[in-house]
A and B are shown apart, each in its own frame.
Chain A
Amino acid sequence: MDYLYFPGCTLYTKAKNLDRAAREAARVVGFELHELSNWTCCGAAFPLATDNIMALLPPSRILANAMKEGENLTTLCSVCFNVLRRTLHLLESDPEKREKIFDFIEMEYREGFHLVHYLEILRDEIGFENVKKKVERDLKGLRVAPFYGCMLLRPSEEMRFDDKENPSIFENLVESIGCKAVDFPYKIECCGSFQAVGAPEVATECGHAILSSALKNGAEAVTTTCPLCQFNLDTKQREMKEKYPDFPGLPVLYFSQLMGLSLGLPVETLDFGRNDVDPVPLLEGRGIL
């Protein structure tokens, strides 16, 4: 199975540890990612002002390029996925805006094009039971709290990703690779998102509340699919510890790193050195590494 792949700007730099492990893991479970030959930044925010057509141009151009090259496009970053899926939904449902946008970018729109998240490929095409069959390394029931954040799920009528209040796709994945999924009430909360630059102390509070809830429910690690969640939950633990000296902290891994680990990928492929809170002591302590 082949998919066109849109990495997005952050996966090329700050989130290489999300990108590399996912590309390798895809091959192991049975699908190939072919990077879109011509792509730009998606704009990182779906415009909520109904008259802001300009912000729809970058994601529309990305989709139009993908429409030239294939039938399906996949992506990993929750923000990119949200922007692209909402844009595609708008193009499908609002012919007037679609015409305006495609006239402006001077490209062809094609019906019947699909945008899928990498996790959806695992659930709907490969099947978690088949992921399970490829497991090489025992993750020994590591207690992992899957954190969805907001962008994968909302708005649910447009994202059509999973149940908006009680999703399960992420739990099913981590269970299939030998972890124990930890349910916690903050799994669909917001990490603070772009307030990391607008009101950083607010984002620190959000992150602290989420991680404290995961810890309280017995998590040894948290996992995410979004580089912005990763930043607010992992990198900002420095600030959390300054404000809450008793906060013990815990590793936050990309789902692709955990998946790659279970599939037996070489550890250097997983780029654990890029995670701010080093997960290696935990993995060694549990006898996984």
Chain B
Amino acid sequence: MKIEISRGTVHDDLAQTVEAISGQNLFACYQCGNCTAGCPVSFAMDLGPHQVIRYTLLGLDSEVLASNTFWICASCLQCTSRCPKGLDIARIMEALRTVVLRKKERLDHLSMGDLTEEEIDRTPQIAFISGFRKFLS
């Protein structure tokens, strides 16, 4: 994939919005990859959390927003707990989810109608409530 970066796209609107919602300074990240290494669900992500931070800073908005990384994140805070720069990476993932969910089009990540009766019957409420909070606008 050819990626073009210009001075104008670095730290663009998306990066600034993510910083505002998460309360984190993306420039603090020095790409050590500790977050990705310790992430229990990174095996299912197309970009590691550290890559998401870099892409966001470089203005690669469509690549970041199309990645599944922040939808796969389970907010377990292992990355946050181990970041040597003190970044709360789980908050950055939440900010990216929030950016998508707050769009006018209300792009829900989950369709409640797709849940089967068996799933509804066996799954505990906390999974639904917590999941709906993360995935629905």
Q: Do A and B bind each other?
A: yes
Instruction: Tell me which residues across on chain A come within 8 A of B44, comparing CB atoms.
Output: 199, 201-202, 205
Q: Which of B7-15, B50-58, B126-134 contacts A (4 or more CB under 8 A)?
A: B126-134
Question: How would residues 15 to 59 of chain B score, 1 for a CB under 8 Å from any chain A CB and 0 otherwise?
Answer: 000001111000000000000000011011000000000000000
The answer to whether B95 and A49 have CB atoms under 8 Å apart is yes
Q: Which of A43, A44, A48, A195 contacts B74 (CB 8 A)?
A: A195
Q: With the chains together, A50 CA to B130 CA distance in Å?
A: 17
The answer to whether B123 and A190 have CB atoms under 8 Å apart is no
The answer to whether B76 and A202 have CB atoms under 8 Å apart is no
The answer to whether A194 and B134 have CB atoms under 8 Å apart is yes
Q: With the chains together, A45 CA to B91 CA distance in Å?
A: 12
Question: How would residues 41 to 58 of chain A score, 1 for a CB under 8 Å from any chain B CB and 0 otherwise?
Answer: 101110111111001000
Q: Interface size class for chain B?
A: 35 or more
Query: Is B137's beta carbon under 8 Å from chain A?
Result: no
The answer to whether B21 and A150 have CB atoms under 8 Å apart is no
Q: Which of A103-111, A214-222, A227-235 contacts B (4 or more CB under 8 A)?
A: A227-235
Query: Is B87's beta carbon under 8 Å from chain A?
Result: no
Instruction: Tell me which residues across on chain B come within 8 A of A153, comparing CB atoms.
Output: 81
Nearest CB of chain B from residue A161's CB, rounded to whole Å: 12
Please classify the interface of chain A as helix (H, G, I), strand (E, B), loop, or mixed, using the class held by over half of its residues: loop
Nearest CB of chain B from residue A191's CB, rounded to whole Å: 8
The answer to whether B124 and A10 have CB atoms under 8 Å apart is yes
Q: Which of B93, B98, B130 contacts A44 (CB 8 A)?
A: B130
Nearest CB of chain A from residue B128's CB, rounded to whole Å: 6
Nearest CB of chain B from residue A12's CB, rounded to whole Å: 9
The answer to whether A197 and B23 have CB atoms under 8 Å apart is no
Q: Which of A9, A154, A156, A195 contacts B41 (CB 8 A)?
A: A195
Query: Is B72's beta carbon under 8 Å from chain A?
Result: yes
Please name 13 pairs of A and B residues whose Cβ atoms are closer than 8 Å in the assembled complex, sorted by A. Answer: A43-B133, A49-B94, A49-B98, A50-B23, A190-B41, A192-B41, A194-B74, A195-B41, A197-B127, A199-B71, A206-B74, A228-B127, A230-B124
* Residues of A participating in the B interface, judged by any CB pair closer than 8 Å: 8-10, 13-15, 41, 43-45, 47-52, 55, 77, 79, 149-150, 153-156, 164, 188-190, 192-199, 201-203, 205-206, 209, 227-228, 230-231, 235
